Amino acid sequence: MAVRKIKDDVFSVGANHWDRRLFDEIIPLPDGTSYNAYLIFGSKKTALIDTVDPATENQLFTNLKEFKDLKIDYVISNHAEQDHSGTIPKILELFPEAKVITNKKCKELLMDLLHVAEDKFIEVQDNETLSLGGKTFQFIFTPWVHWPETMSTYLIEDKILFSCDFFGSHLATSELFVNDKARVYEAAKRYYAEIMMPFRSFIKGNIQKIEKLEIEIVAPSHGPIHKEPSFIIDAYKDWISDSVKNAVLIPYVSMHGSTKIAVNYLVDKLIEKNINVIPFNITTGDIGELAINAVDAATIIIATPTVLVGPHPLAAFATIFLNAIKPKTKFVGIIASYAWGGVTADWIKSHLQNLKGEFLEPVLIKGLPKDTDISTFDAFVDKVVEKHRALAIL
Ligand code: FEO
């Protein structure tokens, strides 16, 4: 990513990681990602906000070389995760006078994760300000977007919020600013679903905090920059709200077709009842898609055969994943097929305890579904319809 000017004396100097396809060894990145870093010049001091993942450090160094006789006084670390902090040690080698500005928690993490020496830090408190000379930062603690130490940095004169992961999107693009809103919305929702969703209540508090600021630009650390802050802030408000959509998400696995017959029947019947249905084949699907659809689906139904007395291992994985990302799902269903026994439905229920929705009576199928199972499926569909109507979403 080349150097680009955002405003006078405010530059984007980060890196695109076009071909990265996996994050944290679990999260698919269909569109790659970027690690945004920002260079800000005041009349007296210069600051770099965040760095880049070490895999792309040369892009950052090449960009910094564009600035003749550059001297960095401060490296502001909004978040200790290595995709933003991992190049801090090398920046400190290149600019030995530079101090790392961050909060106490982030400092401790950077010392643990990157072995940054304690005397390199200047600790800041929530809402504290720092002047570069004509450019003044205000540090706003925004915990749990994504780690407990994460903060945002507000540039008062230019009304720019450098929000780090908050409001970001895994999207490698040559466009500095949001242009294709639909694409950015999808990528930002995916990102929210994968790492922010478990912390909905904290995000509410963080949004209340940043809404006290006058923001013209939201500059996250992944994906393009927002010149229309309300676009992304309103999207977040919708995702963290308690409201759900008239949708049923059905993550499923089928080995010999019995579970698939049940899923197909449910899909058709729910569509007939004007409910949006998202069947998700766990064996081939991108779990980011599972996460996105879990953000606001009113109902999630996990469907699986029984394998060695419990759910198919891939259904168990999806169960644990959904439990970890804690969607606001209102109703949870389980469809378990079996041949001679097992505890599949109980296992799934006991591993979804982070979901606060109501568990519907599980549907159990012995062998290939029979005509007698159809009435059970119909009753299950009727129950979902009744529940969605009760929420006034259908
Ligand atoms: Fe983009 Fe939590 O790091």
Instruction: Please indicate, yes or no, whether residues 278 and 379 belong to a single structural domain of this protein.
Output: yes
Does 20 sit in the ligand 1 pocket, CB within 6 Å?
no
Q: What is the pLDDT of residue 1?
A: 81
The residue nearest atom 1 of ligand 1, judged by CA position, is 165
Does 170 sit in the ligand 1 pocket, CB within 6 Å?
no
Please report the sign of the dihedral spanned by the C-alpha atoms of residue 196, residue 347, residue 285, residue 356.
negative
Of ligand 1's listed atoms, the one at least distance from the Cα of 147 is 2
Strand partners, 162: 153, 219
CA–CA distance, 47 with 339 (Å, rounded to integer): 65
Q: What is the pLDDT of residue 394?
A: 96
Instruction: Please indicate, yes or no, whether residues 137 and 195 belong to a single structural domain of this protein.
Output: yes
197 is a domain residue: yes
Phi-psi region of 212 (alpha: psi -120 to 50; beta: other; left: phi over 0): alpha
Does 190 sit in the ligand 1 pocket, CB within 6 Å?
no
pTM equals: 0.96
Does 149 sit in the ligand 1 pocket, CB within 6 Å?
no
**Tens digits of pLDDT across the chain (394 residues):** 899 999 999 999 999 999 999 999 989 999 999 999 999 999 999 999 999 999 999 999 999 999 999 999 999 999 999 999 999 999 999 999 999 999 999 999 999 999 999 999 999 999 999 999 999 999 999 999 999 999 999 999 999 999 999 999 999 999 999 999 999 999 999 999 999 999 999 999 999 999 999 999 999 999 999 999 999 999 999 999 999 999 999 999 999 999 999 999 999 999 999 999 999 999 999 999 999 999 999 999 999 999 999 999 999 999 999 999 999 999 999 999 999 998 999 999 999 999 999 999 999 999 999 999 999 999 999 999 999 999 999 9
Q: Any idea what the CATH number is for the domain that residue 166 is in?
A: 3.60.15.10
DSSP tally for the chain: helices H, then strands E: 12, 23
Number of domains comprising the chain: 2
The residue nearest atom 3 of ligand 1, judged by CA position, is 81
Q: What is the pLDDT of residue 72?
A: 98
Instruction: Please indicate, yes or no, whether residues 8 and 142 belong to a single structural domain of this protein.
Output: yes
CA–CA distance, 262 with 301 (Å, rounded to integer): 11
Instruction: Please indicate, yes or no, whether residues 129 and 263 belong to a single structural domain of this protein.
Output: no
Residue 15 C-alpha to ligand 1 middle, in angstroms?
14
Instruction: Please indicate, yes or no, whether residues 229 and 267 belong to a single structural domain of this protein.
Output: no
Last residue of a domain, one of 215, 240, 265: 240
Instruction: Please indicate, yes or no, whether residues 221 and 260 belong to a single structural domain of this protein.
Output: no
Structural domain boundaries, residue 127: 4-240
